[in-house]
A and B are shown apart, each in its own frame.
Chain A
Amino acid sequence: MFRILLSISLFVSSSAYSQQTAQDLFNHYRHALYQIQMIDKESGNKSSIGSGFLVSATGDIISNYHVISDYVYFPDKYRIQYLDAKGNVGNLSLTNFDVINDLSLLKMESAQPNGLFFNLAETLPDQGSNIFSLGNPHDLGMIVVPGTYNGLKKNSFYQRIHFTGSINPGMSGGPAVNASGQVVGVNVATAGNQIGFLIPLPKIKALVNSVDTLTSDQYKLQIEKQLHRNQKLMMDQLLATQWQYTGLGKAQVPENISDFISCWGGSNASEKNVKYLSVSNRCRIGEVIFLNGKLQTGEVEVEFEWLTTESLNRFQFHNLLSNRIGFTRPGNQAGKNDVTNYQCQQDLVSNNHNVTMKSVLCARAYKDFNDLYDVLFIAATNDYNDGSLISHFTLSGVSEASMARFTQHFMDTVSWQ
C-alpha cells in the first residue's frame, strides 16, 4: 500500500514539476522559436511549413533539411521566410545543411534578433530525463510537448533520440530542450503513439560549427558529397561485419547482416490449397534519407525465399519461379526528374560455392548526382528440379564501386547445406 501511494505521489509531483517547467520554458523561449515557411515566388503563398529555432545572437536558425528541400532543389522558384511569435516575417538565407541527418542552418537576412537564443547542451541527458519538444504542429501555433528522453534509438544506422512524446507534422525542425532550456535534439519524425525521433546534439553541433556558407549552385554538389560519404560508411560497415548464416530450405543464407538492419521471417505453411512451400526471410534498414518530395534514398533491403514443391511438375514449378522473380519494385521512391530508367543485365551465374543462379542485376542513375545509383538484384537458383532459392536485394544511392562490392559479396554468400 505504501509503495503504491509513494509511487503515485512521485508521479504527481514529477508531472506537476514538468508542467511548470514546460510553461516556464515556453514563455521564456517562445521569441526564439520560428515557423519556417517555404514561399512559392509565383503565387507568394506558403507551400510548406516547419519549425526552427535561433541558436546565436547573429541570427542563425536551425531547422530540418526536409523543411527547406524545395528551396535546395529550386532556389529560383522558392524563398524561405520565418514567422516569429509576434507575427513578424522576414527572409532567411540557407547557410548549410546536412542531408543525411536532416538538418539545415539558416540565417536571418535583415532583422536583428532580440538577443534571446537557445544554447546547445553540453551532453545528452540521462535516460528517463524529462525533455520538452517545441514546435508548431499543423500550423496551429507554437506549443510545447513534455516527454521523456529514452536514449538513442537502438539498431539504427543514423543516430536518433528516442523521445516518448507526440511529435506532429509542422513541428519538424523545432528544438527539444532539457529542463534548463538547452537544446538536446531537433524534432524530425514520429512513429505514432507517443514515439518520436529527434536528431541528437552532436549532429547539430557539427552543423552549427561548420564554417562554410554555400551558394545556391553548390547545393547539389553538397548533397552529392554527403551521400557519397554516407554510402561508403554504410557499405564499409555492412561488409566489414561477419554475416551470420542460417538454413533456409536446402540453402544456407545470411541473416541479420547488420545491427541496423532488422529482419522478419514468413512462410505460407498456414495457407490452404497451395501447391508449394515458401519460407522467407526479409530484412530492411527501414530508415530513408529524404532528398525531395519525390526522391528518397539510403534504403537497403535483403530478402531470401526458399520455394519447394511436391505436387508441381518441373515445368509448372519453373513457370512459377519465372513469375516470382519476374517483377520487382525498387526499395526507394524516385520520380522521373531525379532518376533514369533502370538498365538490367542477366545471366546464368555460378558463385564460389558452386550454386547456379539465373541472376538479374539492374541499376538506375541519379540525374543530379555523379556516380550514385539505385541497385536491384534478383536471382533464382537452378540446381534442383523441385526447389529454388530466390535471393534479392535493393540498395539506393550507392556508388558504382559499392554496387559491385556488395553484389559480389551478396552473390557469394548463398550456399547449399
Chain B
Amino acid sequence: MAIVVEMLSKDGKVLQHYFIPKEQVSIGRAYDNDIRIDDPYVSPHHANFSITEDNNDIAICDLESLNGVKINGKKSADCALSYDDVITLGRTRLRIFKPCQQVPPTIVLSELEENLSWLGYRRVCFILLSVFFGLVGIKYLNNNPGQFEASVLVEAFMRYAVVVSIWPFAFALLSKLAKKDSHIISQFSLLWLFLISIELLDYVQAFLLFNLDAISAVNGVMLLNKSLLFFALFWFTLFLAFHQSRRARNSIAATGTVLVSLYVLFPILFGANDFSPNPKYTSTMMAPAFRVVPTVEAHTFVQDSTDKMVEKLSKARLKSDP
C-alpha cells in the first residue's frame, strides 16, 4: 500500500505531490522524516499518517507537536481522514489520501480547439487586421472624397483600435487569472474577423436597402444577422478564454447578445412615437450597375404609397385623439 500527500496553496491549488510507497508516513521539520516541511511552525517530528488496520482509511497521529494538527480548521487528532479534508500543520496545508482515489473523468479533447489553432498564428492576425484596416480605409475614402489625409485616417483608426482592443485584452487577462492560456493572438484574430464581417454586412445591407422597398424588413434581418455574429464572437471568446460547460457558455453568450441587442433596439422601440418635424427615411444610392430589381411605374408607386401612408396616418391621428 502507499499514501499520497499533496501540499496545497492557500486557495487549494496543488503545489507539490508526493507518492510514498509505505503504510505509514512521518511528517516534520527534521531531516529523517518521509516528508520534510520547511515551516518554522512545524515541529521536528510533527505527525504520522498511517493506513488503518481494516485498510480503509488513513488515520492521523499527532506526535505531541507544539502547534498541533488541524483538520478543516479544527484542532483534532487521531481521526480518520477522507479525500476532502485539508490538514493544517503549522502554516502548511496538506491533503492526504490513498492512491486508489478516483480522478475526475477525462475531458474529450475539443476538435474545435484544434481547428481554431490557425487563429493563433501571428500572420493570420496581421492579415485580418490589414483587411479590416483596408475596409475602413475604403469606406472613409468613399464617404469623404477629396479630403484624404493619411494622418487623420490613421489617427481615427488607432483611436478605434484602442477602444475595440479592450475586448480581447479583457478576456485574455481573465483567462490568465483562471490559470489558462491567454490566447491573446486568437482573441485579436477573432475580433478582427467579427469587425470585418460587420463591415461586409453593411455593404450587403446597403445593397438590399437600395434595391428593396421593404426597409424595416431589411433592417430587421440585418440586425438579426449582426446579433448572430455578436453571439458567435462572444461564444468563441469564452471558448478560448475559459473551460466552461457548453451549456454555461451558450447561456452567457445568449444573455450578452440579448442585452446588446436590446441596447441597440431600445431607441427604435421606445423613441418611435416621439414627435419629429423632419421625415425619417433611408436614402441609400448605388450606381446603376447594382440595381438588380425591376423598377415600378410611377403611377403604381404614387397610388400604393399614398394608400399605405394615408392608412398609417389615419391610425396615427386616431391614436393621438385624446
Contacts and interface: CB of A to CB of B under 8 A. Distances in A.
Contacts of B141: 316
Contacts of B248: none
Contact of B320 (A335, A367, A408): A367
A356 B308 CA distance: 22
Contacts of A314: 287, 289
B210 A351 contact: no
Interface in A296-344: 311-323, 325-330, 333-336, 340-344
Nearest to A365: B313
B227 to A, nearest CB: 25
A414 to B, nearest CB: 10
B317 A365 contact: yes
Given A320-B145, A342-B278, A363-B310, A404 B303 contact: yes
A330 B278 contact: yes
B204 to A, nearest CB: 15
A71 to B, nearest CB: 20
A220 interface: no
A316 B287 CA distance: 10
B295 interface: yes
B288 interface: yes
A360 B297 contact: no
A411 B302 contact: yes
Interface residues of A, number: 64
Nearest to B320: A367
B283 A382 contact: no
Contacts of B302: 361, 404, 407-408, 411
Contacts of A156: none
Contacts of A341: 273, 275-276, 316
Contacts of B143: 316, 319
A31 interface: no
A217 interface: no
A318 B288 CA distance: 10
Contacts of A385: 287-289
B144 to A, nearest CB: 9
Interface residues of B, number: 48
A348 B281 contact: no
A326 B305 contact: no
B285 A380 contact: yes
B211 A348 contact: yes
Contacts of A407: 302, 306
B287 A315 contact: yes
B291 interface: yes
B11 interface: no
A122 interface: no
B314 to A, nearest CB: 7
Contacts of A346: 213, 215, 281-283
A340 B317 contact: yes
B181 interface: no
Given A329-B278, A349-B295, A363 B285 contact: no
Interface of A: 273, 275, 311-323, 325-330, 333-336, 340-352, 356, 358-365, 367, 373, 376, 378, 380, 382-385, 388, 400, 403-404, 407-408, 411-412
